[in-house]
Copies of this chain bind each other. A is one copy, B any other.
Amino acid sequence: MTEVFVVGTDMIRFGRFPHRTVANLGGEAALLALDDAGLTIKDMQALYCGNNILANRMVGQQVLREIGQTGIPVVNCANACATGATAFREGWMAIKSGVYDLVLCVGVEQMGKGLLGSGEVETGISPEGILGSMTTPSVFAHVGMEHSRRYGTTFEQFAKVSVKNHHHSSFNPKAMYQVETPLEEVMNAEMISYPNTKLMCSVNVDGSAAAVLASEKMAKKLGLMSRAVRVRASALTSDPFTDRNLTTPDFNAVTRLAAGVAYEMAGLGPDDIDLVELHDCFATAEIVHYENLGLCADGEGGRMIDSGETALGGRIPVNVSGGLLSKGHPLGATGIANIYELTTHLRGEAGQRQVEGARIGMSHVVGLGTACAVHVLEKA
């Protein structure tokens, strides 16, 4: 099995683009990523497209109509919030299979309006049987309150996650927001579902991101190794239905399972990771995922945020892009935007938000339903 390398990646600045099409948004990221690799769509042997809301609308083919209909295989993938990561992983698998040497992965989403994206566009996440009668904010409120009950985690600690991630995104020109949110502002914002205020919920935006993947042979042949990033592990899991906390879908178990698979595949442990982009769909989620990903011991999540270890400059910076809380969370784009962020740091091209000396990064996304994807990238 060949090793697989990211040889080009980029994303558009996340925002609200109600007057553009999903194909146009996806096409822009695709062209940016191809430019980054110094390649064109004619060089690509397959396209993996991640889009959740319009998953049944041939979005990948629509993207090709924007940038060049070369006849290549197009696979449209959907996996809720793990949609982009799933498309990326299928591209990785396509290179690993030896069937292709160069594939393009595009993630794109045009969300509806409103906090939950449940406005004009159908979000496509069915509550029946997945959440029971719970909405997403209430699920992640439960997740936080359960953590509080067990470990005494405070409202202020959860709020600090949002302060940190908004601070990070003030250095990220591709984030939706580049504005600091002081702790008081976060804590006093409109309460959505305790303990998450409005500023502790991910930003509902439109966006797109793309990555070009190459086999080792092709990356070398094209002279792209100097800025290439190795995919050292790729894990995807669904709900294992174990250790179930019956009041909420089990985001913990699905993440722990994926993290375990990824660490084993990479032959690495949490101490080897230099930066993490994890699924902070709500501030409470970030705290529990510190533990689920093994970045600290169980119950230590609150301490982690207090200590500043996960802030830029800390021991293990988390969500230096601004995360879902401030960069934004367009479902299909998120997983590939994480790849862009990690790659940018591993290349040493992240400017003001650069994690110095970063050699290994981890991306984590988790979708309702349930799907969790963890990727480990390494400087080539």
Q: Among the listed B1, B46, B56, B241, which residue makes an inter-chain contact with A71, where contact means beta carbons less than 8 Å apart? A: B241
A79: B residues at CB distance < 8 A: 58, 74-76
Query: Which chain B residue lies CB-closest to A124?
Result: B56
A367: B residues at CB distance < 8 A: 58
- Tell me the A34-85 residues at the B interface (CB within 8 Å): 46-47, 52-58, 60-62, 64-65, 69-80
A74: B residues at CB distance < 8 A: 79, 236, 238, 371
Chain A binding site: helix, strand, loop or mixed by DSSP?
A: loop
Stretch binding the partner chain, chosen from A90-98, A136-144, A345-353: A90-98
- Tell me the A325-372 residues at the B interface (CB within 8 Å): 367-371
A1–B97 CB distance below 8 A: yes
B58–A55 CB distance below 8 A: no
A58 to B82, CA, bound (A): 11
Query: Which chain B residue lies CB-closest to A234?
Result: B99
A71: B residues at CB distance < 8 A: 237-242, 253-254, 257
* Min C-beta distance of A119 to chain B, whole Å: 16
Q: When A75-B90, A96-B99 are in contact, do A369 and B61 touch as well, CB less than 8 Å?
A: yes
Query: Which chain B residue lies CB-closest to A254?
Result: B71
A240: B residues at CB distance < 8 A: 69-71
Q: When A58-B79, A93-B94 are in contact, do A64 and B129 touch as well, CB less than 8 Å?
A: no
Cβ of A191 < 8 Å from any Cβ of B?
no
Cβ of A224 < 8 Å from any Cβ of B?
no
* Min C-beta distance of A215 to chain B, whole Å: 12
- Tell me the A85-117 residues at the B interface (CB within 8 Å): 86, 89-90, 93-94, 96-99
Q: Among the listed B90, B130, B239, which residue makes an inter-chain contact with A90, where contact means beta carbons less than 8 Å apart? A: B90
A94: B residues at CB distance < 8 A: 93, 97
Q: Among the listed B46, B76, B368, which residue makes an inter-chain contact with A77, where contact means beta carbons less than 8 Å apart? A: B76
Query: Which chain B residue lies CB-closest to A370?
Result: B61
- Tell me the A237-259 residues at the B interface (CB within 8 Å): 237-242, 253-254, 257
A130: B residues at CB distance < 8 A: 58
Taken residue by residue from 191 to 209, chain A's Cβ proximity to chain B (1 for < 8 Å, 0 otherwise) reads as: 0000000000000000000
Cβ of A225 < 8 Å from any Cβ of B?
no
A99 to B242, CA, bound (A): 24
A129–B62 CB distance below 8 A: yes
A60: B residues at CB distance < 8 A: 238
A371 to B73, CA, bound (A): 7
A154: B residues at CB distance < 8 A: none
A contacts, CB < 8 Å to B? 1, 46-47, 52-58, 60-62, 64-65, 69-80, 86, 89-90, 93-94, 96-99, 122-126, 129-130, 235-242, 253-254, 257, 367-371
Q: 16 interchain pairs (CB within 8 A)?
A: A53-B56, A55-B56, A56-B80, A57-B125, A58-B130, A58-B367, A61-B371, A64-B238, A69-B240, A69-B241, A71-B242, A71-B253, A76-B77, A78-B78, A96-B99, A97-B98
